[in-house]
C-alpha cells in the first residue's frame, strides 16, 4: 500500500521550483505591505492584504470599495515609499473583494 504523508508548505516548496518561486513572491508581497503599512490609515489596515506581484506592478487586496476609495488617495505615497526602499514598483493596483 502506497501511503502519502502530509508535508508542510515549506517542504513542498523546497521540493518544487515552481512552488518555491510562488512562496518567495508571497513573502516579498507581505514584506512590501509591512514596509508601507505605516502610511495606510489605521482604520484601513485590517481591510488590506498583500496581493500578487507582476513585474513592476503590485496588487493590494482590499475588503470593500469604500476602503479602496480611501486607499487610492495614498497610493502615490505608497509607490514613492517602496521606490525609496529600493523596490521596483511602478504602480499599485487595488482589487476589491474578500477572498
What local confidence, expressed as pLDDT, does residue 13 receive? 65
- Look up residue 73 and give its three cell numbers: 488617495
Round to whole Å and give the CA distance between 58 and 78: 11
Please list, in sequence order, all residues whose beta carbon lies within 8 angstroms of the beta carbon of residue 81, skipping any fewer than 6 positions away: 35, 36, 39
Residues 76-90, mean pLDDT to the nearest whole number: 94
Give residue 75's pLDDT.
97
Task: Read off the pLDDT of residues 34-54 as tens digits, 9 standing for 90 and up.
Answer: 999 999 999 999 999 999 999
Residue 28, pLDDT above cutoff 70: yes
C-alpha cell at 15: 521540493
- Residue range 10-96 forms a domain whose CATH class is alpha beta
pLDDT at 27 exceeding the cut of 50:
yes
pTM of the model: 0.79
Q: Which residue has the higher pLDDT, 30 or 25?
A: 30
Higher pLDDT, 5 or 21: 21
Strand partners, 92: 58
| Average pLDDT of the residues in 17-43 | 90
**What angle do the packed helices 75-84 and 17-36 form, to 10 degrees?**
110
Q: Is the pLDDT of residue 7 over 80?
A: no
Amino acid at each position: 500500500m502506497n501511503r502519502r504523508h502530509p508535508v508542510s508548505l515549506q517542504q513542498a516548496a523546497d521540493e518544487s521550483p515552481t512552488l518555491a518561486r510562488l512562496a518567495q513572491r508571497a513573502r516579498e508581497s507581505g514584506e512590501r505591505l509591512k514596509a508601507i503599512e505605516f502610511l495606510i490609515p489605521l482604520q484601513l489596515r485590517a481591510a488590506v492584504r498583500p496581493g500578487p506581484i507582476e513585474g513592476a506592478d503590485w496588487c493590494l487586496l482590499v475588503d470593500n470599495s469604500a476602503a479602496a476609495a480611501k486607499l487610492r488617495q495614498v497610493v502615490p505615497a505608497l509607490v514613492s515609499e517602496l521606490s525609496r526602499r529600493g523596490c521596483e514598483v511602478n504602480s499599485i493596483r487595488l482589487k476589491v473583494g474578500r477572498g
